């Protein structure tokens, strides 16, 4: 079995690699700069490779050093995460949401949450990937879809998928009434990954056509493009409530309840006794009820 390098040398290498400085690594670890440099030299001797180039402004990875550090840093991150799970912080709540939900609804409403629960440390993981409650340490997740989501989860409906067509005020009718479907159909369309424009227009009784299409990877980007006057976006009403109130956007097409892909809060039943988690859930339900 290959002999593993000394743990202290690996810790010094991890810190020095993240900061590319022996001095900064020493401050992080609470030791002297010379001690960190010595630990890294011992690791290089143990591996018989050069991990860093010493340059005037600090350190620079060698190619083998960068590759080795990528793997070592992940190992230490996993160790820190595993330790944190064993020593939970009672007031810390980690919620997993999509970037669009974070940018267009959760973050604008955070002042209200902070006022209601100043002692809860709410941390937001904004990602398109489906996070794991166990391995990622997630306490709550907001997901778009249709039940069932899993036998071990409690599921709460937050928002129905109620879609509206929105655009910058320059596209709106003078009296702010909805545009006729044929008129709406002639405007440039902004698409996200859901690509619901053809179905929406079919619901209004017209066949889809567009003089120009803009395709974007996230709904939040589609909203921003609509604000910038690039065309008409199709989006859940609650995600643009602040923009409509501020007159950055106006409704130009009728509401369509698509009947699928609603927004839910998922909560592992094992965390139901965590007071901070249940308070976050209660706040989400309260705010969604107000917006609905």
Statement to judge: residues 287 and 222 lie in one domain: no
Q: Which domain holds residue 285?
A: 93-158+261-291
pLDDT exceeds cutoff 60 at 1: no
Single out the residue in 46, 68, 86 at which a domain terminates: 86
Per residue in 211-236, pLDDT (tens digit) is: 889 999 999 999 999 999 999 999 99
280 and 145 in a single domain? The answer is yes
Report the domain count for the chain: 3
Domain final position from 37, 66, 86 = 86
CATH of the domain at 226: 3.40.190.10
Residues 6+ away with beta carbon under 8 Å from 62: 49, 50, 51, 52, 53
Residue 87, pLDDT above cutoff 70: no
* Confidence at residue 192, expressed as pLDDT on a 0 to 100 scale: 92
Lay out the sheet containing 262-268: strands in order across: 121-126, 92-97, 140-145, 262-268, 153-159
State the CATH number of the domain containing residue 56: 1.10.10.10
Measured from the Cβ of residue 268, the count of other Cβ atoms closer than 10 Å reads: 18
pLDDT at 66: 95
3 state SS of 260? coil
Residues 236 and 267 in one domain: no
Are residues 273 and 253 located together in one domain of the fold? no
Residue 2 lies in a domain: no
Average of per-residue pLDDT across 65-77:
93
Residue 57: pLDDT band (50, 70, 90) is confident
Burial class (CB in 10 A: 0-12, 13-18, 19+), 27: middle
């Amino acid at each position: 079995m290959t002999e593993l390098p000394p743990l202290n040398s690996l810790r010094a290498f991890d810190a020095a690699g993240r900061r590319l400085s022996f001095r900064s690594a020493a401050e992080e670890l609470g030791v002297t700069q010379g001690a960190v440099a010595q630990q890294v030299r011992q690791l290089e001797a143990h591996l018989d490779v050069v991990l860093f180039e010493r340059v005037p402004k600090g350190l620079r990875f060698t190619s083998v050093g960068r590759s080795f550090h990528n793997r070592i840093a992940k190992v230490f991150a996993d160790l820190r995460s595993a330790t944190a799970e064993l020593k939970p912080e009672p007031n810390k709540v980690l919620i997993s949401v999509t970037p669009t939900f974070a940018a267009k609804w959760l973050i604008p409403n955070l002042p209200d949450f902070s006022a209601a629960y100043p002692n809860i440390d709410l941390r937001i993981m904004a990602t398109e990937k489906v996070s794991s409650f166990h391995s990622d340490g997630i306490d709550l997740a907001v997901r778009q879809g249709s039940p069932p989501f899993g036998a071990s989860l409690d599921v709460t409906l937050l928002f129905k998928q109620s879609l509206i067509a929105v655009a910058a005020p320059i596209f709106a009718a003078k009296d702010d009434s909805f545009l006729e479907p044929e008129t709406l159909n002639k405007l440039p369309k902004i698409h996200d990954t859901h690509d619901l424009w053809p179905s929406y227009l079919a619901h209004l009784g017209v066949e889809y056509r567009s003089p120009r299409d803009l395709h974007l990877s996230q709904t939040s980007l589609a909203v921003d493009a609509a604000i910038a006057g690039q065309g008409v976006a199709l989006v859940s009403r609650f995600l643009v409530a602040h923009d409509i109130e501020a007159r950055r956007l106006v409704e130009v097409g009728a509401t369509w309840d698509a009947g699928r892909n609603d927004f839910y809060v998922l909560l592992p039943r094992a965390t139901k006794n965590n007071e901070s988690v249940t308070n976050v859930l209660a706040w989400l339900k309260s705010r969604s009820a107000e917006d609905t």
